[in-house]
Structure 1
Amino acid sequence: MIKTTTLGTIATGALIVALAQPVYAQQAQSGAAEGIQDIVVTARRTEESLQTTPIAVTALTPEALTTAKVENVVDLQRTAPGLVIGRGSAGGDGIVFVAIRGQGNLQPILANDPAVATYVDGIYIPRPSTGMTDIQDIQRLEVLRGPQGTLFGRNTTGGAINIITNDPTDQLSGTFKAEYGNYDNLGAQANINVPLAEGLAIRLSGAINDREGYGDNPINNRDFSDNHSKFVRGKLKYDGNGWDLTLSGDWNRQTNHGQQIALWDFDRNSATINALGFAPGLTAGLLSRDNWWRNTAMGTSVPASIGALPPEIQSLYGVQPFNTLEVYGFSGTLNVDLGGLNLKSITGYRHSMNYGLSDTDGTAVPLLSTYAGSGSYYISQELQLSGNLTDSLSFIAGAYAGKESGYEFSRSQIFGGLIRDSNADVTNKTFGLFAQAYYELTPTLRAVGGFRYTWDTRNSVLHNAQVLGLPYDAPVAGTPTGINCTVDPTDPVTATTCNQAQNAKFNYPAWNAGLDWQASDNLFLYVATRGAAKAGGWNLRAGGLPAFAPEKVKDVEAGLKVDLFDRRLRFNTAVFHTWKDDNQAIVNSFVTGIGVTQYIQNNGKVRIWGMENEITAVPWEGMTLSINGSLQDGKYAKGSFSETQVVAGSGCTNPAGVVDGCVVDLSGLPLLQLPKKQLNVSATQKVPLGAGTLAVTGAWSYVGSQHFDAVRAADQQPDAIKAGYETENRLGRVPGYGIFNGRIAFQLDDPNVEIAIYGRNITNKKYLLRRFPDLYRTLGIAAAYVGQPATYGVETTFKF
């Protein structure tokens, strides 16, 4: 409360100073330090100044991205307030978990959309696996905070990451960059822009990187968390008379030897673990300060009973961890001047494929290994019509359609047994109509109103088997059906057919309304309310459950943006309150015919509130100081979130009629991926030196503690079961951490060459990205995903 009041006082002080700025401006001395440059953003699908855009948005220029050494979306966490990006998944290594203002998605299955959308040149990227895509040759990157329901291609409840790459121009130019660092990190980037004819130009960019792993396995002398990546993009643009067309294509492939995963804890009282004699091996593989970047993960084991399986299935046993990610896409953007109106067409195709093998216990013990992955293609088409209807009234309206088709699988080997199979085919369709208008009430006061309506279709077909490789109709003991097919079949089961079809349709509105006021030349204020929804979907790994409906979000936001002291100080702040209904919550529960499982259901009303501040200062010649941070909190509405736990002999009654099913109120649990505190501080000093300029940068980033799992036991549960819940809940909280990065660069005036040295996590801080205790009560293990160690290197960049 004290900190919130303090930030509110700072914002109020900035408002008072801004209103008095003409006096200060007159007193400013000539020859003062150069002011902060303006940034043009497209956060509202039109070009406008960052300082007159009435939403909370962080804009990063190419120089800012280079100085902060942002190489992919994961690196953005330390550049914007309210943005957290998690790593570590029981699935593939390419998956990232992006959350803004507590709106995230920790189960990014193919039938469940992200809460924070990623756009590249206006093209929606549906799968979070592509969040690891390299960021190369960027004109600008924007982080939009809050619901984005009316203008962008898809409804998103948390925000959007908007990546704008460089277009071809009519000037011959190019850049080449080479880098070498510890862990034998060798990289190269290049781009070239070539004018081909009058109005026609092409731009090509590419990058390669090869790096040894941050961790090693002492058993097999194999490293992990390494990186081998290749990236290429090409853009062709033609500027005609009143129209222009841009065609683009990109491809990115990354591989490694497995994630940086380790065993954090295990249940020493587990009857299964002790009966199998796993305790000594698990104890030896526990993560400690002395072996922080080490594990003994060996992948799948080879049981004696695989002889009856087909050879291609037998080859999946005895495999060590690995990951492969491949994404590519094509797009075409057409702009036509209709004489007072502008027509834009954005056509996109995206392909995403990621798969890998994760040894979730992180040890040589064959407790749990999982093959997981997905592949999909997404076709989208968006049409926009915009312009001015009168001197005071402008608008943008359009339509959006998208279709995604693909597959997802999860194949797990538990306690060294035969591999189980869970897989599904998925088709997602979406269509939306939108319009937004801006009206100048006075020369300085403007109103905005927008509306969108979306129709979604979600179809999936499950094909799950108790033993991968056996015919679906083969007898298998212990399954709900008595045969290898473990779904609730909608078609007759045969040796090759095991289908459970699931079809659902959803429709929902989104809106935006607000006022903004240019109070003075350097002070801009706004207030807005927005509504959006995240699409519903299916649980692909727990057949028989109903589809979960869209979660609905609405918010209010107020902010100010001010430039002070001849643009030597910029202060932007936003306060918000979010209401979320039909929250898509992850629950661990018992499902009849399936057993203990994890799935998504609509259960809970969530309230989130907070404040975000961004400060940029040029206090003296050559110095740029940037500070951004957030304070936020949230909770479930009392009594709105519950689950059913089966407690034998309890006599519990519940509305669903589950025998001995005890309803547990979960509304007091913490929200997931919502750090209450976040702070990023960066300072760069530039000094003219001989034939060039020396730039020294230091940056410190802190993110507060986060919950990645939160559970609660029914009062009727035995004490031993309650203890398991308590342990899992405790392990679900990841402590906060801060890391320090630095960069020293010397820029020559002629030729245009920069030589730089850099360091990331310079103090070699040992921190956790995520803990994964979701399997503690079922399998008795809690995994940990650790952050990167200290890295350093040298890079040289040449431009012409």
Structure 2
Amino acid sequence: MSKRVATLGAIGMGALAAAMAQPVFAQPAQSGAGEGIQDIVVTARRTEESLQTTPIAVTALTPEALATAKVENVVDLQRTAPGLVIGRGSAGGDGIVFVAIRGQGNLQPILANDPAVATYIDGIYIPRPSTGMTDIQDVQRLEVLRGPQGTLFGRNTTGGAINIVTNDPDDQLSGAFKAEFGNYSTLGAQANINVPLADGLAIRLSGAMTDRDGYGYNLATKRDVADNNSKFLRGKIKYEGDSWDLTLSGDWNRQTNHGQQIALWAFNPAIIPAAFQPGLTAGLLTKDRWWGNTVTGTSIPATIGSLTPEAQALYGVKPFNTLEVYGFSATLNFELNDLNFKSITGYRHSMNYGQNDTDGTAVPLLATFAGSSSYYISQEFQLSGNITDSLSFITGAYAGKESGDEFSRSQIFGGLIRDSNADVTNKTFGLFAQAYYELTSTLRAVGGFRYTWDTRNSVLHNAQVYGLPYNVAVAGTPTGINCTVNPTEPVTATTCNQEQNAKFNYPAWNLGVDWQASDNLFIYAATRGAAKAGGWNLRAGGLPAFSPEKVKDVEAGLKVDLFDRRLRFNTAVFHTWKDDNQAIVNSFVTGIGVTQYIQNNGKVRIWGMENEITAVPWEGMTLSVNGSLQNGKYVKGSFSEIQVVAGSGCTNSAGVANGCVVDLSGLPLLQLPKKQLNISATQKIPVGGGTLAVTGAYSYVGGQHFDAVRAADQASAATKAAYDTENRLGFVPGYGIFNGRIAFQLDDPNVEVAVYGRNITNNKYLLRRFPDLYRSLGIAAAYVGQPATYGVETTFKF
């Protein structure tokens, strides 16, 4: 056992001993007492209960905590919760974020592949991770749930869930206005207002606008990059009757920018043509121009004259990104004697579209247009109540349908643009039930079960040249024509279809017990099972569907308040088993060649500990510390791929000539930092007619692998050296950043003026590296983090 684990275990045992010394009583809901730590009500189990009596590892953030930590979108949550990491940087548009909890993530969250961590807004499942970049405004609280969430929430998720609860309309006239100004010409404005309309009827409106110059600068085109222009609106109307209430909601968010902050980290001279190498050398990322690049987008070849006007318009385009999401929902609550009925109806639309110059330089090596557009309709019914004084339950049904299209159009070495695109329809239906039984006044058991049925249909329409008829002759394709899929119907000039249909069904379950050992100590243990839905590889036609990956875990935790609620210590330990792992592999596929795709391959084990400490050591001071230690590995011999090694004489079950089976089970797991730490301290001081609050915060995330490879034993020494280099580049070193905020809050009028700084030390760190040194392109791209930012905010509330 390491010293760190032993130390954390000693802290937990000390807290347990101190809390056990207190008398044992059933703990009522509390709203805080004196100067102690305030309680928070959460809905992590789809019902309202105290954070400190919820038998699950969950981080709950109040509006004050979100404002103090300067959380503006889901990406910022990495600085607030243990075990949560959020990656940025995509080969296409930057509307997608890569969220992982406890090593459960998804680096290819396409339409036919669900995220491992789900996002919910007011109970509505958000299927596309592009919503992670949307604004967080007028929020009542935000919850980060860690571990499998299979039984109660709308979708099975193996990693966890982000549950965003926005403010409902109420019967009080109130409002808030906020203005912001900062470096990089940041201008922002937010407003919300709540208006009672009649007895039981109220409306709430909120909106925000942000405009900011780019964190990066293009040295070749003199354009800003990584800038942001965002507009946001939400409206909610609620009616409360005698035994029922209805809430209608709608929201819209649109963001645009001039491209990602990407640069070239390295290139392979053995692959890159000599004519391109001087331009790549000139565009390499250096410390003295960390936030600069030389990207130019698509180039204009001389052979585009035969293409359609729509296709020709894609040449000579500079990088950009557009993200637009909107949705509507209706939530009905109805009391039926001792039972409660709830209906949640949702509609979500998501569109992200952008171009990324993947080599990060002026050389026309690779530029990619990528994006997707989809809508999702969902309906959930819940019935809950008490059967006896000791037995309560929640049960229901969930149905959802997502339809949309996804595309990736790439220009390689300045040639004509290739096209991969697909139409996708995903359907899901589930039945669930969970019961709670009080064995004694302080001991409770829980059991839950869900069964899910999924249908995954897709139609591929891939072309070697975008803008040419599908049925014209094109050299070098598997079919000999421009259509590059395995057609399931005759190919015409406008028709190139490969239909792919699959169905999956799988269970999820939850068993646990919790004990209110004293007024101040809550202990729980649970085991859960869940699955991440199966799907299709949209960019590599002819491959079979991948099945759901299955996860089960055990988790134990304690939640304790000590010293008259001046110290709170919550901890959880877990061990996760994952089978049928949806792994990204690079293999030879007959008729396609070497390609990257997802397959069920590998058994994974992940384990760790998460701690959250909140303390009020003296009047006005709040200290928060949270962190995680975690690790994991593949089960030996369970994860492999096929590599073609010329002259090796290898044989394999797939019948690929010279195809060598390579054991990958020794590779590290992706997006699994072994260490995380977040520290925040706020001191409030009464000053005149108000309060001065000074906050300092430090956030550290350990090193992460975003790519991991292994060469076949039969490969040449040069190939093995290239693989070793790629492994080094696929690892992103850990980094820490300092943030701060100083705010003065007037008592009357209710006005706050605050100055803030993020990454105050201007630390130069990486978000992700995308290495492709040996496979095809011979480059490694780097996505860098934000520089130091600072500004002033003024907020008025009434």
Answer yes or no: same fold by TM over 0.5: yes
Q: Which amino acid is 1:298 matched to? A: T
SS of the residue 1:792 aligns to: strand
**RMSD, aligned α-carbons:** 0.9
Residue 388 of structure 2 aligns with which residue? 390
| Whole-angstrom distance in 2 between the partners of 1:166 and 1:690 | 32
**Counterpart-to-counterpart distance in 1, 2:653 and 2:593:** 19
- Residue in structure 1 matched with residue 81 of structure 2 by the alignment: 80
- Superposition map of 1:358-757 within 5 A: 358-757=356-755
Hey, what does 2:757 align to over in structure 1? Answer: 759
The C-alpha deviation readout for 1:341-376, integer Å capped at 9, x for no partner, is 000000000000000000000100000000000000
1:285-364 to 2 correspondence within 5 Å? 285-364=283-362
Aligned to 1:792: 790
SS for the counterpart of 1:383 is strand
> After superposition, what is the alpha-carbon deviation per residue over 1:509-556, rounded to whole angstroms, capped at 9, x for unaligned?
000000000000000000000000000000000000000000000000
Query: Quick one: distance in 2 between partners of 1:143 and 1:682?
Result: 18
In the alignment, the residues of structure 1 paired with residue 633 and residue 508 of structure 2 have an alpha-carbon distance, to the nearest angstrom, of: 23
SS of residue paired to 1:307: helix
CA distance in 2, matches of 1:779, 1:235: 49
Pick which of 657-666 and 700-709 moved more. Answer: 657-666
- Report which stretch shifted further, 503-512 or 773-782: 773-782
Separation in 1, partners of 2:316, 2:769: 26
Question: Is the 1:489–1:499 Cα contact (8 Å) retained in structure 2?
Answer: yes
Whether the 8 Å contact between 1:255 and 1:323 is mirrored in structure 2 is yes
Matched residue type, 1:163: I
Task: Give the stretch that moved more between structures: 6-15 or 354-363.
Answer: 6-15
Q: Counterparts of 1:250 and 1:594 in 2: how far apart (Å)? A: 43
CA contact under 8 A between 1:348 and 1:381: conserved in structure 2? yes
Q: 3-state DSSP class of the match of 2:77?
A: helix
Q: In 2, are the aligned partners of 1:596 and 1:778 still within 8 Å (CA)?
A: no
Tell me, what secondary structure is at the counterpart of 1:278? helix
The alpha-carbon deviation at position 648 of structure 1 amounts to 1.6
Q: Shift in Å at residue 22 of structure 1?
A: 5.9
Relative distance call for 1:53 and 1:630 in structure 2 (3 A) is same
* TM-score, normalisation: structure 1: 0.98
Give the drift of 1:590.
Answer: 1.5
Q: State the 1:774 CA deviation.
A: 3.8
TM-score by length of 2: 0.98
Amino acid at match of 1:154: R
User: What is the identity, as a one-letter code, of the residue corresponding to 1:215?
Assistant: G
Q: Is the 8 A contact 1:33 1:618 kept in 2?
A: no
Aligned to 1:29: none
Deviation per residue, 1:291-321 (Å, 9 max, x gap): 1000000000001111111122111000000
1: CA distance between counterparts of 2:428 and 2:679? Answer: 40
Distance in 2, Cα, partners of 1:343 & 1:658: 57
Corresponding residue of 2:162: 161
Residues 72-118 of structure 1 deviation map (CA, whole Å, 9 limit, x = unaligned):
00000000000000000012111000000000000011000000000
In the TM superposition, 1:46-65 aligns within 5 A as 46-65=47-66
Checking the alignment, whether the CA contact within 8 Å between 2:703 and 2:732 is kept in structure 1 is yes
Write the distance in 2 (CA, Å) between the matches of 1:70 and 1:522: 30
- How far is 1:725 from its partner? 1.4
Question: Could you tell me how far apart the structure 2 residues matched to 1:540 and 1:22 are?
Answer: 60
8 Å CA contact 1:423–1:463 kept in 2: the answer is: yes
Counterpart for residue 233 of structure 2: 232
The code of the aligned residue for 2:722 comes to G
Paired amino acid for 1:734: V
- Within 1, Cα distance between the matches of 2:774 and 2:208? 41
The residue type paired with residue 144 of structure 1 is L
Amino acid at match of 1:248: S
Cross-structure match for 1:170: 171
- Corresponding residue for residue 191 of structure 1: 192
Shift, 1:269, TM fit: 2.0
Cα deviation, residue 657, structure 1: 1.4
What's the CA shift for 1:273?
2.3
> 1:673-708 deviations in whole A, cap 9, x for unaligned?
000000000000000000100000000000000000
What CA distance in whole angstroms lies between the structure 1 residues aligned with 2:130 and 2:57?
Answer: 26
Structure 1 contact 728–777 (Cα < 8 Å) conserved: no
Structure 2: stretches of 5+ with no match in the other structure:
25-32
Q: Once the 2 structures are TM-superposed, how far is the Cα of residue 33 of structure 1 from its aligned partner?
A: 7.0
| C-alpha distance in 1 between matches for 2:608 and 2:709 | 25
* Cα contact 1:518–1:525 (8 A) shared by 2: yes
Q: What SS does structure 2 have at the residue aligned with 1:469?
A: coil
In the alignment, does 2:138 pair up with 1:140?
no
- What's the offset of the Cα at 1:21? 3.9
Separation in structure 2 between the aligned mates of residue 322 and residue 91 of structure 1, nearest angstrom: 10
SS of corresponding position for 2:10: helix
For residues 618 and 601 of structure 1, the distance between their equivalents in structure 2, rounded to whole angstroms, comes to 49
Structure 1 residues 492-513: Cα deviation after superposition (integer angstroms, max 9, x where no partner): 1111110000000000000000
Q: Report the Cα distance in structure 1 between the residues aligned to 2:342 and 2:91, rounded to whole angstroms.
A: 41
What is the aligned partner in structure 2 of residue 7 from structure 1? 8
Q: CA deviation at 1:8?
A: 1.0
Q: For residues 797 and 776 of structure 1, what CA distance do their matches in structure 2 show?
A: 53
Deviation at 1:573, TM superposition (A): 0.1
CA distance in 2, matches of 1:273, 1:627: 51
**SS across alignment from 1:520:** coil
* Alignment-derived partner of residue 45 in structure 2: 44
State the distance in 2 between where 1:775 and 1:493 align: 36
Give distance in 1, aligned partners of 2:286 and 2:278: 16
- 1:213 match: 214
- Percent of aligned pairs with the same amino acid: 86
Per-residue CA deviations over 1:5-30 (Å, capped at 9, x if unaligned) read 2111111111011112469xxxxxxx
- SS of corresponding position for 1:798: strand
| Number of residue equivalences | 789
Q: How many angstroms does 1:794 deviate by?
A: 0.2
Cα pair 1:385 1:397 within 8 Å, conserved:
yes
CA distance in 2, matches of 1:62, 1:408: 36
1:766 is paired with a residue whose SS is coil
Assess if the C-alpha contact under 8 Å between 2:23 and 2:518 holds in 1: no
Deviation at 1:615, TM superposition (A): 0.0
Partner residue in 2 for 1:112 = 113
The residue that corresponds to 1:26 in the other structure is none
- Whichever residue aligns with residue 680 of structure 1, its letter is N
Q: Counterpart of 1:125 in structure 2: which amino acid? A: I
Task: Output the CA distance in 1 between the equivalents of 2:69 and 2:558.
Answer: 26
In 2, Cα distance between equivalents of 1:776 and 1:434:
47
Q: Which residue of 1 aligns with 2:127?
A: 126
Cα distance between partner residues in 2 of 1:539 and 1:447: 41
Conserved 8 A contact 2:178-2:796: yes
State the SS of the aligned residue for 1:75.
helix
Whole-angstrom CA distance in 1 between matches of 2:773 and 2:189:
41
Residues 33 and 619, structure 1, Cα contact 8 Å, conserved in 2: no
CA distance in 2, matches of 1:33, 1:45: 29
State the distance in 2 between where 1:426 and 1:775 align: 32
Q: Distance in 2 between matches of 1:668 and 1:220?
A: 44
More moved, 205-214 vs 715-724: 715-724
